[in-house]
Amino acid sequence: MTGLPLEGIRVADFSWFGAGPIGAQTLATFGAEVVRVESEKHVDSLRVVHPFALNPDGTFKSGYNVSGYFNNFNAGKLSITLDLNSEKGQAIGHRIIEKSDVFVTNFTPRVIDKWNLRYEQLAAINPRIIAAYAPMQGMEGPNRDFLGFGAVLTPVTGISYMSGHPHRPPIGVGTNYPDYVINPGHTVTGILAALRYRNRTGTGQRVELPQLESVATTLGTAVANYLANGIVESRTGNRHPTYTPHGAFRCADDPESVGSNDRWVAIACRDDGEWRALCQALGQSHVAADPRFATAAARKANEDALESTVGGWVRERRAEEVMETLQAASVPAGVVENAQDMLDRDEHLKARGYYVYLDHPETGRSAYDGPAMRLSETPGVLRAPAPLLGEHTMDVCERILGMSADEVADLLAEGVLA
């Protein structure tokens, strides 16, 4: 491996679930050697949740290595299983950190204290360490030990309150969005900034990313609108303050669509010209002059009727046909894609080779998310599939920590290693 921007950087990944491991995987994709420290006694729950790989007879595989959820977010890492509840386990953990450039965790401060992983303790072992902490609500404060995941963060940061239809309760965004995008992205940014500082000064530092505060930055103008105008933004469904029609419209069912055969297309008209173009493209030019819809103000005042009318036009058409017809008329439109579309049907993603197929010893050939960004001179690469639980325990102990085979055997017998 040559030419990757983080080559020569070693990351001690003491995180679990989503935000921490996904950030660490980004570092691995761009050349860092990432040592994922895991526990056989308290396995990362992502290793035991669906989707699981299938056996030839259609039944689900079982075990700690067949979760597509875990594997997709841990490609290219090394895995060592270590009992951090023991003194010897903590000593080995400290040795890994001593040999590393970056330490990453998203455990709560209570666990950090229990395992003696505070920044002051790590800096005493390795003054050059970049120690990134991403607990849900920060390292200090009255709620510092609260547990949290993406499904918790979306309501407590206000995202759920603004998600859904105005006549219904808040529903959130349908996925643990903060875990996949916001928090790992911010964590990586902080780590890279700290690495730049270390390159200039030779000194490491602590990077603290309270996930609560990280996610709050995605509220856009909601807080500013309340501050300036006293307005609390709430649920508007798919509607837009000024664009109309603006929403997702049901199209003809697709019997080849896996799971659910319903299909949808998103349409947005930003001005009267696009509205007239939409009417003409769908063979309804006469409706453009309807007094209820002729201007943006009129369409906003009659939005229920407008959406019902547009919905009737597209209900018996294929979503792809509607998209192509409207795009040809310069009207913003796109199929509301599902996972099948993204992986198998989206010709653009196929042409760009976004999904990477890797051979895993237990799940076989599987699709992994590709690098989120492409550097022209130093492109990222998924070098290996996700590791089996503890697959690299011996390698890490011997090659990185310099332990003898006998030492490793003794620690395995004691249950410190697994």
Question: What confidence tens digit (pLDDT) does each residue in 328-376 have?
Answer: 999 999 999 999 999 999 999 999 999 999 999 999 999 999 998 999 9
Lowest mean pLDDT among 36-45, 86-95, 174-183, 394-403: 174-183
Count CB neighbours of 258 within 10 A. Answer: 11
* pLDDT for residue 2 is more than 90: no
268-311, pLDDT tens digit by residue? 999 999 999 999 999 999 999 999 999 999 999 999 999 999 99
Contact by Cβ (8 Å): 229, 152:
no
Which residue out of 179, 262, 272, 304 is catalytically annotated? Answer: 179
Domain regions of the chain by residue span? 10-218+355-414, 246-338
* pLDDT for residue 208 is more than 80: yes
- What is the rounded average pLDDT for all residues in the chain? 95
pLDDT of residue 3: 82
The pLDDT of 105-119, averaged and rounded, is: 97
Written as six digits, the tokens of 23 are: 């950030």
The pLDDT of 170-187, averaged and rounded, is: 91
* pLDDT for residue 175 is more than 90: no
CA distance 369 to 354: 7
The pLDDT of 383-403, averaged and rounded, is: 98
* pLDDT for residue 259 is more than 90: no
* pLDDT for residue 91 is more than 50: yes
271 as an active site residue: the answer is no
pLDDT of residue 1: 45
Report the CATH fold assignment for 10-218+355-414: Rossmann fold (3.40.50)
Burial class (CB in 10 A: 0-12, 13-18, 19+), 252: middle
> Against a cut of 0.85, is the pTM above it?
yes
Band (pLDDT 50/70/90 cuts) for residue 151 is confident
Percent of the chain with pLDDT over 70: 100
24-63, pLDDT tens digit by residue? 999 999 999 999 999 999 999 999 999 999 999 999 999 9
Architecture of domain 246-338: 2-Layer Sandwich (3.30)
The pLDDT of 118-143, averaged and rounded, is: 96
Band (pLDDT 50/70/90 cuts) for residue 215 is very high
